Structure 1
Amino acid sequence: MSTVTATFRFYEELNDFLAPSLRRHECTCVCARAATAKHMIEALGVPHTEVELILVNGESVGFDHVLEDGDRVAVYPKFEALDVTPLLRVRPEPLRTIRFVADAHLGGLAHLLRLVGFDTLYDNHYADDEIEAIAATEDRIVLSRDRELLKRRTITHGCYVRALKPQAQLREICDRLDLGHSIKAFRLCLTCNSPLRAMEKAEAFGRVPEGVFDRQARFATCDVCKRIFWEGSHWHRMCSLVESLRPAGENR
């Protein structure tokens, strides 16, 4: 026999990646002999970076599990409210430090992630191969709206971004990865991702508009791109966004 048949059931938001006829119910699929769980999950449209737990016949398995005829496969997304620590996760450990690389379609999100303090690489000229290499060598989470990019073999941590607008995308990522407690706003340059440093007011003289220099008391600068930041109207709007992302009752 050259093929095996397995029954799949995908849960919660993983259904968004499936063909409409396969969503929210069991589906029986013909698999090539020696096909792995990862191969079939991605063949059905779900990037492996979206998967947290796979159960085959009730037993937790890894991506490399070879499917056998008659297997029943349940595939789950990342859990937020359910403790599954006794079970085998499909990747060994979470990344120790939260750092991102965003694809060419997510420039607005990249800027907002920097605003709230998360190291985020972005260049609208990055090719998929470059993003894959950066993620592997720097242990970065790939953010993308391209599911085929997230299926690449060496990308172990990634998020498919569903929202279309940057602020909604930021809320989505913060909620999904529970980043509210880790926000350290206004410490990175929005342009080049480098650390900001506080500067003496006198140092800003002649480098900012005269009215801004007269009205503002505090300035920060990026020593890489030389931009200067101050607490203007845009800063106040961004403060409101930052506070809305923090858990209720948490001090700034």
Structure 2
Amino acid sequence: MSRAQFLFVGRLNDFLPRDQREQIVSVDFRERQSVKHLAESLGVPHPEIGRVQVNGQEGTLSTITQDGDRVEIHPIPNGWPVEPRFVLDSHLGRLAAYLRMLGFDCLYQNDYEDDELAEIVQREGRILLSRDRRLLMRKVLVHGYCLRFLDSIEQLSEVIRRFDLTKRIIPFHRCLRCNHPLEPVEKKTILDRLEPLTKLHFDEFQICPACRQIYWKGSHYERMKKLIEQTIESKAGK
């Protein structure tokens, strides 16, 4: 039997029992075990892991752990180098709508199977958002984030914070239903689809070219605008 010592830094402690947080955790193991395998045996999904140090030297998730090793594991720093594209598991429909409202490319279906999600991440290089740690531990997954909160507004705030999205927000240019970018549409071409009061009070409209959903700046727009402002203010205050 071999033993190694692990120290998790920052938000990676969220995955540990309270009595193991912010301290060295001893792990017993047999045969050849990678840093990735042992970290996940403690509940930390590999897509959350950034820098790895073994005995003070730079290591990787694939480093084979030896008896007596001291392993220090850091989270991936906040931010993302390019415009992030997400895929969300089947329990996160409201979060998907909120992220689309802010202009972010989010794939979502309420009947996605785990295998489908893993395939999408692998094929398209998307970031998987989920609260399912076991799903995020699948070998094929490269990019992912495990949501800590249950409330969808709090989830939105943590995604904005984790991926540093504030300056990338371009609200109201993506369909909330199907994720497709919206296009301007002339009022006269959609008159037959508008309610009488909408015809009377509004002149500017957008349409989704994929599902044909129509959008305009009604009371729902003001509610969503207020939600965006509150979310950004909340993120800035943390």
Tell me whether the two structures share a fold, i.e. TM-score over 0.5. yes
Is the aligned partner of 1:166 residue 2:152? yes
Q: For the residues of structure 2 that align with 1:52 and 1:127, how far apart are their CA atoms?
A: 27
The more displaced of 238-247 and 100-109 is 238-247
CA-to-partner distance for each residue in 1:11-36, whole Å, 9 max, x for gaps?
22212212334222112111222100
Q: For the residues of structure 1 that align with 2:103 and 2:59, how far apart are their CA atoms?
A: 35
Is the aligned partner of 1:145 residue 2:138? no
Q: Which residue of 2 aligns with 1:221?
A: 207
List alignment gaps of at least 5 residues for structure 2. Answer: 234-238
Q: For the residues of structure 1 that align with 2:83 and 2:168, how far apart are their CA atoms?
A: 11
Q: Structure 2 vs 1, CA of residues 21 and 244 (structure 1 numbering), >3 Å: closer, same or farther?
A: closer
Following superposition of structure 1 onto structure 2, how do residues 128-143 of structure 1 map, counting pairs within 5 Å?
Answer: 128-143=114-129
- CA shift for structure 1 position 195: 1.3
TM-score by length of 1: 0.88
Letter in 1 for 2:24: E
CA-to-partner distance for each residue in 1:102-141, whole Å, 9 max, x for gaps?
0011100001111111110001110100000000000100
Q: Which residue of 2 aligns with 1:102?
A: 88
Q: For the residues of structure 2 that align with 1:136 and 1:62, how far apart are their CA atoms?
A: 20
Q: Which residue of 1 aligns with 2:188?
A: 202
Is the aligned partner of 1:51 residue 2:37? no
Count how many residue pairs are aligned between Structure 1 and Structure 2.
Answer: 234
TM-score by length of 2: 0.93
Is the aligned partner of 1:232 residue 2:230? no
**C-alpha contact 2:89 2:108 (8 A) present in aligned 1:** yes
Paired residue secondary structure (1:29): strand
Higher helix residue share: 2
RMSD: 1.8
**C-alpha contact 1:11 1:75 (8 A) present in aligned 2:** yes
**C-alpha contact 1:180 1:245 (8 A) present in aligned 2:** no
Q: Structure 2 vs 1, CA of residues 27 and 246 (structure 1 numbering), >3 Å: closer, same or farther?
A: closer
Q: For the residues of structure 2 that align with 1:125 and 1:95, how far apart are their CA atoms?
A: 30
Letter in 1 for 2:101: L
Is the aligned partner of 1:118 residue 2:116? no
CA-to-partner distance for each residue in 1:166-201, whole Å, 9 max, x for gaps?
221111100111011111111110001111101111
Is the aligned partner of 1:37 residue 2:35? yes
